[in-house]
C-alpha cells in the first residue's frame, strides 16, 4: 500500500467512524437511506475511487476502490458502494457517460442468462433478472446482459422492494412479461459483460468480507479480554485461546487473499480469493458467536450486523464451490504438464 492509498484508507475510515454508527446501520435495516454517509463519501470523491477522471471519476486504480470497499465492509456500511463501483466501471468500459447519484447493478439470476436488445423507444429483456442491491435508493440502474449493458433512471422503473437476511434492501424489477420491455433503457454493446460483472462482483465481495472479518476478529479479541468467568477473563482459558488462534488464522488468510487481487485481476486470482474467503465464513461466524455467546445474536450487538452480511456476500457472484470449479476447469484445460507452473507462479 503506497502513501496515497494509506491516505485513502485513513480518510474513508474517519468518515465511516463518524457517520456509520450502529444506529445508522440499524436505521438502514429499517429502510432509511444513509444520506449523510453517502454525501460525505461522494464529496470526498471516494464513491468513484478507481474510476478515471476523464470519465467522470476520482482517478486512481482498482486497488483504491477495493480498499474503500473493504472499509465499508469493516463498518457494515448500509450503502451500495460496491454496486456503484461495479456499475461505474461497466459504464466506462462501454463508453457511457456516468450519471449523477448512486448507481446499482443487476444481472441474471444465478445460473441464468439475460439478453438486452433495443426496439424503437424501449429495450427488450430476455431472461430473468436478479434483485438489485439498494435499488430503491439509487438514481440509476445498470442492467447487464451477456454481451450488452443498459442504463435507466430508477424513476422509469416499477420495482418491488424486499430485505435480505442482512437487512439490506433489495429491489425486484417488474417488466411487461408479454414484451419484456423497459422504456428509457439505453442499451450499448459490451462483449463479455456478464462475465465482467461476475468478476467485479467477486472482487468487491472479497473486499467486503475481508473488512467484516477483520472487524469480527477485533470484536472477539476485545470481548474475550473483557468478559470474566470464574474470576478471570475468558481469554485466559486455553480452549478460548485455541479458538481465537483459529479465528485469527482464518482472517489472516482472507486478508492475504484480498490483498492478492488489489493489483492482479486475473481470473485465476479472483477464483482463488473468492473461494478462500468464502470457505472461511462458516468458521469465522461460528467461532465469533461461540466466544460472544447468546449476546452476539441479539440485534443490540454489532457482531450479527457483520456475520449476517458474511452469509449474504458469500453467495453473491458465485460461492466457493462455483469458483473452485472454475479454478479446476482452468487447471485441467492447461494440462498435467503445466500444473507445477500454475502452482508456483500463482500470486
Together in a domain, 234 and 158 = no
Q: List the single range of 89-93, 101-105, 146-150, 264-268 with lowest mean pLDDT.
A: 264-268
Together in a domain, 153 and 251 = no
CA dist 125 to 28, 89, 100, 323, Å?
31, 22, 25, 27
* Average pLDDT of the segment spanning 36-51: 96
Backbone φ and ψ of 117, nearest 5°: -150, 150
Q: Which residues of 298-333 are buried (b: 16+ CB within 10 A; e: fewer)?
A: eeebbbbbbbbbbebbbebbbbbebbbebbeeeeee
Instruction: Give the pLDDT band (50/70/90) at residue 97.
Output: very high
Backbone φ and ψ of 230, nearest 5°: 55, 35
Q: pLDDT tens, 180-195?
A: 567 778 899 999 999 9
CA dist 38 to 27, 105, 166, 289, Å?
14, 17, 19, 30
Residue where one domain finishes, among candidates 141, 159, 191: 191
Together in a domain, 301 and 226 = yes
Q: Is 50 exceeded by the pLDDT of residue 177? A: no
CA distance 180 to 122: 10
Q: Is 50 exceeded by the pLDDT of residue 201? A: yes
CA distance 17 to 208: 16
Q: pLDDT tens, 218-230?
A: 999 999 999 988 9
Establish if 54 belongs to a structural domain.
yes
pLDDT of residue 174: 67
Together in a domain, 14 and 45 = yes
Establish if 52 belongs to a structural domain.
yes
CA distance 102 to 117: 25
Q: Is 50 exceeded by the pLDDT of residue 178? A: no
> What DSSP line would sit under 45-113, residue for residue?
TGGGTTS-GGGTS----HHHHHHHHHHHHHTT--S-HHHHHHHHHHHHHTTPPPPSS-EEEE-BPTT--
Establish if 344 belongs to a structural domain.
no
CA distance 274 to 281: 11
pLDDT of residue 213: 98
- Nearest one of 82, 73, 71, 85 to 14, comparing CA atoms: 71
- Nearest one of 140, 178, 145 to 159, comparing CA atoms: 140
Establish if 341 belongs to a structural domain.
no
Together in a domain, 331 and 199 = yes
Instruction: Give the pLDDT band (50/70/90) at residue 347.
Output: low
- Nearest one of 38, 125, 32 to 84, comparing CA atoms: 38
Q: pLDDT tens, 232-288?
A: 999 999 999 999 999 999 999 999 999 999 998 888 999 999 999 999 999 999 999
Together in a domain, 96 and 71 = no
Residue carrying the nine cell digits 427488450? 124
Query: Rounded to two decimals, what is the model's pTM?
Result: 0.94
Together in a domain, 182 and 239 = no
Work out the angle at residue 275's Cα, subtended by the Cα atoms of residues 272 and 280, and round it to the nearest 5 degrees: 125
Together in a domain, 266 and 155 = no
* All residues at 6 or more sequence positions from 173 whose CB lies less than 8 Å from its CB, including other chains: 106, 129, 132, 135, 141, 143, 157, 158, 159, 182
* Average pLDDT of the segment spanning 283-299: 92
Q: pLDDT tens, 72-85?
A: 999 999 999 999 99
Q: Which residue range(s) make up the domain with 2?
A: 1-79
Together in a domain, 138 and 245 = no
Q: Is 60 exceeded by the pLDDT of residue 327? A: yes
The total number of structural domains in the chain stands at 3
Residue where one domain finishes, among candidates 79, 107, 141: 79
CATH of the domain at 210: 1.20.140.10
Q: By percentage, how much of the chain surpasses pLDDT 90? A: 72
Average per-residue pLDDT in the chain? 92
Establish if 225 belongs to a structural domain.
yes
CA distance 254 to 271: 13
CATH of the domain at 170: 2.40.110
Q: Which residue has the higher pLDDT, 181 or 117?
A: 117
Together in a domain, 326 and 217 = yes
Together in a domain, 227 and 301 = yes
* Average pLDDT of the segment spanning 211-218: 98
- Residue 182 pairs in a beta bridge with 123
Residue where one domain finishes, among candidates 159, 175, 191: 191
Together in a domain, 142 and 48 = no
Establish if 343 belongs to a structural domain.
no
Amino acid at each position: 500500500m503506497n502513501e496515497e492509498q494509506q491516505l485513502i484508507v485513513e480518510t474513508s475510515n474517519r468518515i465511516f467512524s463518524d457517520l456509520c454508527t450502529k444506529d445508522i446501520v440499524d436505521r438502514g435495516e429499517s429502510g432509511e437511506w444513509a444520506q449523510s454517509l453517502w454525501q460525505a463519501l461522494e464529496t470526498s470523491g471516494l464513491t468513484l475511487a478507481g474510476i478515471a477522471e476523464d470519465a467522470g471519476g476520482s482517478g486512481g486504480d482498482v486497488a483504491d476502490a477495493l480498499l474503500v470497499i473493504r472499509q465499508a465492509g469493516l463498518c457494515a456500511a448500509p450503502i451500495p458502494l460496491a454496486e456503484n463501483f461495479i456499475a461505474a466501471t461497466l459504464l466506462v468500459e462501454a463508453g457511457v457517460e456516468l450519471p449523477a447519484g448512486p448507481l446499482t447493478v443487476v444481472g441474471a439470476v444465478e445460473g441464468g442468462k439475460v439478453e438486452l436488445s433495443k426496439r424503437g423507444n424501449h429495450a427488450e429483456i430476455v431472461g430473468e433478472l436478479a434483485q438489485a442491491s439498494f435499488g430503491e435508493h439509487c438514481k440509476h440502474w445498470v442492467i447487464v446482459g451477456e454481451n450488452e449493458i443498459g442504463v435507466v433512471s430508477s424513476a422509469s422503473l416499477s420495482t418491488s422492494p424486499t430485505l435480505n437476511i442482512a437487512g439490506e434492501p433489495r429491489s425486484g424489477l417488474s417488466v411487461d412479461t408479454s414484451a419484456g420491455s423497459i422504456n428509457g433503457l439505453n442499451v450499448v454493446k459490451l462483449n463479455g459483460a456478464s462475465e465482467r460483472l461476475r468478476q467485479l462482483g467477486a472482487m468487491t465481495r472479497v473486499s467486503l468480507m475481508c473488512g467484516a472479518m477483520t472487524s469480527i476478529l477485533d470484536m472477539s479479541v476485545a470481548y474475550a479480554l473483557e468478559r470474566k468467568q470464574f474470576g478471570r477473563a475468558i481469554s485466559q482459558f486455553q480452549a478460548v485461546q485455541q479458538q481465537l488462534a483459529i479465528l485469527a488464522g482464518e482472517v489472516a488468510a482472507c486478508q492475504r487473499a484480498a490483498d492478492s487481487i488489489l493489483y492482479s485481476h486475473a481470473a485465476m486470482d479472483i477464483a482463488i480469493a473468492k473461494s478462500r474467503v468464502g470457505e472461511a465464513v462458516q468458521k469465522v461466524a461460528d467461532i465469533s458467536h461461540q466466544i460472544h455467546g447468546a449476546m452476539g445474536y441479539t440485534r443490540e450487538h454489532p457482531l450479527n450486523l457483520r456475520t449476517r452480511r458474511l452469509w449474504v456476500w458469500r453467495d453473491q457472484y458465485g460461492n466457493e464451490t462455483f469458483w473452485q470449479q472454475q479454478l479446476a476447469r482452468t487447471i485441467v484445460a492447461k494440462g498435467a504438464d503445466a500444473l507445477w507452473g500454475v502452482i508456483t507462479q500463482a500470486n
